[in-house]
Amino acid sequence: MLFAEARRGARRGSEGDFVPLAEQDCRLWDRTLIDEAEALLSHAAAKAVIGRYQLEAAVQSAHAARRLTGRTDWMAIRELYDALHSIAGSPVVSINRAVAIAETDGAAAGLSTLDELGDDKRLHDYQPYWAARAGLLARLGKTREATEAYDRAIGLERDPAVRRFLQERRAGLSRAEKD
């Protein structure tokens, strides 16, 4: 929770627009909270028992390391999601794991992983699934399918700033198609 709270100031732009994690300015992250979270994670690791919350914190730590290295270690994040998936196979973990797979093995591999979740009825009305799917389809140049997935994600989103973000991404598909 401390890792997530540390990024609060970077989640919205100056006009209140949503800023996804990958595009956040790390300089806006609260270093004190990150340091506290890292200390707690190290303390938990010393106990030599790995659990769900420790793995979730480790994923956040790997994202927070970007402030030091300037890059996201997607292989580490993927491995953490693989471990988390084996002990807590929730749809949220599965979607995040698919995104990490896309970052390490390409959008087609990530989309294939998402497709494996397609029969899970809980995802039919779950905005992050549709947003992830739309983004991967867009990366693969599947504009029609990406537009449909963005439309679904937009229809499910309640936060106006996130909805605008998704609408802008969808509009970007139309502009790219015209170029």
Residue type, 65: A
Total number of residues shown for the chain: 179
Rounded mean pLDDT, 16-42: 96
Report the alpha-carbon distance of residue 135 to residue 65 in Å, rounded.
24
Q: Residue 157: how many CB atoms within 10 A of its CB?
A: 20
pLDDT of residue 174: 76
| pTM score, whole prediction | 0.91
Q: Residue 145: how many CB atoms within 10 A of its CB?
A: 16
Q: How many CA atoms lie within 13 A of 142 on its CB side?
A: 14
- Average predicted confidence (pLDDT) for the chain: 94
Is residue 126 within 8 A of residue 118, CB to CB? The reply is no
Rounded mean pLDDT, 27-55: 94
pLDDT interval class at 115 (50, 70, 90): very high
pLDDT of residue 73: 96
pLDDT of residue 88: 85
Rounded mean pLDDT, 110-128: 92
pLDDT of residue 148: 97
CB under 8 A, 24+ apart: contacts of 97-103 = 98/132, 98/136, 99/132, 99/136, 100/74, 102/136, 102/139, 103/72, 103/74, 103/77, 103/78
Taking alpha carbons only, the member of 133, 129, 88 closest to residue 107 is: 133
Q: Give the domains, in start order, of the chain with CATH numbers.
A: 1-72 (no CATH), 90-179 (1.25.40.10)
pLDDT of residue 177: 67
CB under 8 A, 24+ apart: contacts of 41-50 = 50/83
pLDDT of residue 49: 86
Rounded mean pLDDT, 139-147: 96
- 129 pLDDT higher than 90: yes
Phi and psi for 142 in degrees, rounded to 5? -90, 75
pLDDT of residue 60: 97
pLDDT in tens, 44-101: 999 988 899 999 999 999 999 999 999 999 999 999 999 999 998 788 999 999 999 9
pLDDT of residue 118: 79
- 179 pLDDT higher than 80: no
